Chains A and B, each alone.
Chain A
Amino acid sequence: MAWTFVQKLFGAKGSKGEAKNRLQVVLVYDRLGLSADQMDALRKDIMETISRHISIDPEGVKIDFQHEHSLPEVVINAPVRRRAAS
């Protein structure tokens, strides 16, 4: 963060970092080559698996691919439901 700021200040940092990062992310998707059907199946399996243990909002499950720390990774977000007061 601080370093990005210093670079901005001196106008040294161009846009190539952004290019590289966006490429790395899009290539995670491209290389997996998942179809819409396969993505749906993955989402469904994840929903079912988590729901067996904790109560989540099935509509809110999000699957993202990203490239962090030089590694491709899949990130799954599932909003946990508050237990209803009984």
Chain B
Amino acid sequence: MGGRAIVVTSGKGGVGKTTATANLGLGLAREDRKVVMIDGDIGLRNLDLIMGLENRIVYHLLDVVRGRCQVRQALIKDKRFPNLSLLPASQVDQKEDISPEQMRDLTAQLKEDFDFVLIDCPAGIEQGFRNAIAGANEAILITTPEVSPVRDADRVIGLLQQSIGDPRLIINRMNPEMVKKEQMLNQSDVLEILAVPLLGIVPEDEEVVIAGNSGAPVVLNERSRSGQAYRRIVQRILGEDVPIPELNGNVGFIQRLGKLFFGR
């Protein structure tokens, strides 16, 4: 019972899991939910940095698991939202130093106190992945519209279906100009291939890089397009029926001609 534990996965590395976890955590906190984010990337922690909370870490996930401190001692409260906390990863340990059973217990414990437990999964499908998904009841899958990330996403869907079930998909770094020129897979291509429900589309946006510099994720930036995309995704996670606009640029003359004469 209690809160919802959601793992943010991808298979392929570097497609935006940590960025998404930070933005969804802040976004849900903005909506007055009690949220804790777990950095599941033991040995390569980054969520603290993206959140701007790196200077305040005292204890970490493995200290909790090893009984060196209480969970609440390890939680870092976000100054912007007192209802948002981060449980940082250890930077010196390895993924093998914690087991799926330990992650499951920890997640269960946190679910009693929080509405949302968001788990930032490391890249890959090995032990770090198995740990991150162990305690989750829902999964969000991030991909970019490129061949390798989509292929790896498909592999992760297969693995998730054996435990959690179908993940909900976020397509990240969509570039409307490239989609318009048919140089990039569009939303329906990716959905046709992966066949899982769509949670949202986040455009390619340099604001994400700028946000990383200062530790203030884009969801807090009212003017940023990717921030808006994340705010809409938050609404959908909360069960609201917010439409998903297609980021296709304008359909060009030749494409329209094709539809007219050739039906495609």
Contacts and interface: CB of A to CB of B under 8 A. Distances in A.
A63 B252 CA distance: 40
A12 B254 contact: yes
Contacts of A7: 254, 258
Contact of A12 (B186, B193, B252): B252
A22 B250 CA distance: 26
B182 A30 contact: no
Contacts of B261: 3
Contacts of B182: 12-17
A16 B262 CA distance: 18
B154 A16 contact: no
Contacts of B179: 16
Nearest to B154: A27
Interface string A11-28: 011111101101110110
B147 A31 contact: no
A19 to B, nearest CB: 5
A20 B193 contact: yes
Closest 3 CB pairs of A and B: A12-B254, A14-B183, A14-B182
Interface of A: 3, 6-7, 10, 12-17, 19-20, 22-24, 26-27, 30-31
